[in-house]
Structure 1
Amino acid sequence: MNEDLERPQGRWFEELPVGTVIRHRIRRTVTESDNILFTTLTMNPQPLHLDFEAAAHSEFGRPLFNSMMTLSVLVGLSVHELSLGTLVANLGLTDVTFPRPVFHGDTLRAESEVVEARESRSRPTQGVVTVQHRAYNQHGEVVAQCLRMMLMQRRPAES
């Protein structure tokens, strides 16, 4: 069997030392339909997302992309190169900020920086990794960031 097909795409705990920066390759252009669907599915009645007339009279002059979806896209952009197949569980998100607004048609890219990593005291086959995720728009401006704590698998012992 091909070992590359068996190996998870994400990184093992040992591959995430403090200071590691991953500039994720996948990008995502967010759309009006993304915004409306996410906003309505999550029961958010905010006119800044759904009412184009009201949004036109806001300080932004147009609808804002839902920040909760921006956060979800930020984390999602990291999965392939960070935690796909190696994540045990998300332990928390903290320090979430949205320094700039996101609008329909913006293209988001992400990077993740490991800011803390320690072996689990109670789970010898796992470790806890904290990353700072940052999302940038097509102009290189930070539009979202957060700290994400993850329980990650350690590299399996070779048999």
Structure 2
Amino acid sequence: MGGLWYEEFEPGRIFDHAIRRTVTESDNILFSCLTHNTQPLHIDFDFAEKNSEFGKPLVNSLFTLGLMIGISVNDTTIGTTIANLGMSDVKFPKPVFHGDTIRVETEVKSRRESKSRPDAGIVELEHRAYNQHGDLVGVCTRQAFMRKQPATTAKG
């Protein structure tokens, strides 16, 4: 199992995720259409060129959010998470465009044991996404419901 157990999430720990991803036009168009987001700023090049201060389509911010969290999974929660409990303080300080390469870092902000489940705890993670120029393009705080490490029996 690649993910960390609840006990392994030390507050203050920062993960610099090795996986990076270049966002393509297809990613943006497909994601926007699959989620029924018909905002022309995402899917209409002519509209974006004539009616946007950027002059080109913006990548759908919910794709950026999903990518930011998704990139973190292999290093943090794969196979050890029970569920996401929520995301808060989501911000997109700079836009993402087709061709931008995204890298992500995750900081463990806090953790606490579950009051209802002795085998689990809640970990608060802050994910930060940067483009290839080092500009912060996304940040969010995620509350993950994590499994505790199973007790091992000593063989004797």
TM-score, normalised relative to structure 2: 0.96
Aligned residues: 152
What do the CA deviations read for 1:120-146 (whole angstroms, capped 9, x no partner)?
Answer: 121111110001110010011110010
Q: Hey, what's the Cα distance between the residues in 2 that align with 1:136 and 1:62?
A: 20
Q: Hey, what's the Cα distance between the residues in 1 that align with 2:115 and 2:44?
A: 50
Q: Hey, what's the Cα distance between the residues in 2 that align with 1:131 and 1:32?
A: 29
Q: Hey, what's the Cα distance between the residues in 2 that align with 1:126 and 1:25?
A: 27
Q: What is the root-mean-square deviation of aligned Cα atoms in Å? A: 0.7
Among 101, 104, 107, which residue is 1:113 paired with? 107
Q: Answer yes or no: is 1:21 the counterpart of 2:14.
A: yes
Corresponding residue of 1:31: 24
What do the CA deviations read for 1:5-64 (whole angstroms, capped 9, x no partner)?
Answer: xxx101111110111111111111000001000001111111111110111121001110
What is the CA distance between 1:158 and its match in structure 2?
Answer: 1.1
Corresponding residue of 1:3: none
What do the CA deviations read for 1:55-92 (whole angstroms, capped 9, x no partner)?
Answer: 11210011101100000000100000000000011000
Say which SS state the counterpart of residue 56 (structure 2) adopts: coil
Corresponding residue of 2:125: 131
The runs of at least 4 consecutive aligned structure 1 residues that moved more than 6 Å come to none
Paired-residue identity, %: 56
Structure 2 unaligned regions, length at least 5? none
Q: Answer yes or no: is 1:144 the counterpart of 2:138.
A: yes
User: Which aligned pairs between 1:9-158 and structure 2 lie closer than 5 A?
Assistant: 9-57=2-50, 58-158=52-152
